[in-house]
Amino acid sequence: MAEGGEPGPPAPADRYTVISADCHAGADLLDYRPYLERAHHEAFDAWAATYVNPYEDLLADSADRNWNSDRRLAELEADGIVAEVVFPNTIPPFFPSAALMAPAPTREEFAQRWAGLRAHNRWLADFCAAAPGRRAGVAQILLNDVEEAVREVHWAKAAGLTGGILLPGTPPGSGLPELHSRTYDPLWAACAELDIPVNHHAGSASPPLGDEPSARAVFMVETTWFSHRALWHLIFGGAFHRHPGLRLVLTEQGSGWIPGVLDMLDYYHGRLVAASTRATATAEAKFGVGLADSMGPPPSETWHTNCSVGASFMRPHEVPLRHRIGLDKIMWGSDYPHDEGTYPYTREGLRAAFAGVAREEVAAMVGGNAARIYGFDLALLNSIAAKAGPTVTEIAHPLEEPPEDATSPVFAKGASLRVW
């Protein structure tokens, strides 16, 4: 679909129009300063003078992929990608580490961090404007002040950040109400009214575990689970029932887990709702009181009406589940410029995942669904894809062996039914 939901022109007959639903960008540290309110300049100078960046990829020669618009367009286009959904990557002003956290700082720190996120959002609006129609920027918010978050949502919509907002996690110890709380209803209402997606990205909801090898291993085991929690919190919390236009996108969390989790959520929904209608005062009946009225339809139905998945570097073992997940729910992503992303081997990654899949199904997953969800204009993108997009014949050819220096999990052993 083209922008506004109208049918766009057909994609090139021999090529795919590829939109990455998961890319990352951000300004170089000092380049955020002009986007800060003047009152924060002195504090920013002091913070920036002592800040030590903990991320190797933001110190490497390739770090400018985050903010060098011309380099980014050239590399993505060479990789077969014509448009991108842009999540944050670099550290915004006044944050101690990751931009994806939802901190509960002091009043002064809270004001500074909001200023830092607003600076990032305003930089992002300019960055997206530098490539009209090819970037859907995702604005950052904090949940500590819902009214402030709603104001930023309205600003983001007016500024043309068509990627919507990034929903922070509420990990244990954050001091924030859980996502199922009605505290956030004004935020859900604003997003539904403005028709902008609520994106929840992996890694943003895990509690701090430490730096020991065991902690890192536990983080890897648990991080996607903590990110998945947003789905059942919003469903059981009734957010979609009260705000039918609300749209949730779960990004870089895999997709193979979705059918099983939906089965599990339907199971608990059925047990609790059924028990609450019986005359017998069982423990489950007490748990289910009011649930049917407050949350509406079963979880699987809500998934298919309100939710989508940003299936970053979709792996071959996930693809056979596409109809159970919902073919119209899946949006492939490259995760550029991260090491786990498919660049510069996106074509090989698409071959590994989608060889043997019907052309119209591949077209939906690698671009059509993202165009619909994020409002990309396919008239524009199809014309670029006619020269830069991977060919249908190319992607249909199975990948026999992954590139030797490829780092994306799509090429990992166990990610494919094929033995590499």
Give tens-digit pLDDT for 245-257. Answer: 999 999 999 999 9
Q: Bin 412: left if φ > 0, else alpha if -120 < ψ < 50, else beta.
A: beta
* CATH at 88: 3.20.20.140
Q: What residues make up the domain containing 51?
A: 3-411
Is 419 a member of any domain?
Answer: no
In the chain, the number of structural domains is 1
Q: Quick check: 161 pLDDT over 70?
A: yes
Token readout for 121 is 């959002």
Q: Quick check: 8 pLDDT over 70?
A: no
Please state, for a pLDDT cut of 90, what percent of the chain lies above it. 73
Is 9 a member of any domain?
Answer: yes
Is 400 a member of any domain?
Answer: yes
- Between CA 149 and CA 318 the distance in angstroms is 35
Q: Which helix (H) or strand (E) holds 140?
A: strand 139-140
Q: Quick check: 401 pLDDT over 80?
A: yes
Is 420 a member of any domain?
Answer: no
Check residue 134 and give its pLDDT: 98
Contact present, 110 and 144 (Cβ < 8 Å) = yes
pTM for this entry = 0.93
Is 37 a member of any domain?
Answer: yes
- Between CA 251 and CA 247 the distance in angstroms is 13
Check residue 397 and give its pLDDT: 96
Q: Quick check: 289 pLDDT over 50?
A: yes
Contact present, 288 and 272 (Cβ < 8 Å) = yes
Q: Quick check: 46 pLDDT over 90?
A: yes
How many CB atoms within 10 Å of residue 39? 9
Q: Which helix (H) or strand (E) holds 81?
A: strand 81-88
Give tens-digit pLDDT for 65-120. Answer: 999 999 999 999 999 999 999 999 988 999 876 545 545 568 888 899 999 999 99
Pick the most confident of 6-10, 86-90, 172-176, 363-367.
363-367
Check residue 68 and give its pLDDT: 97
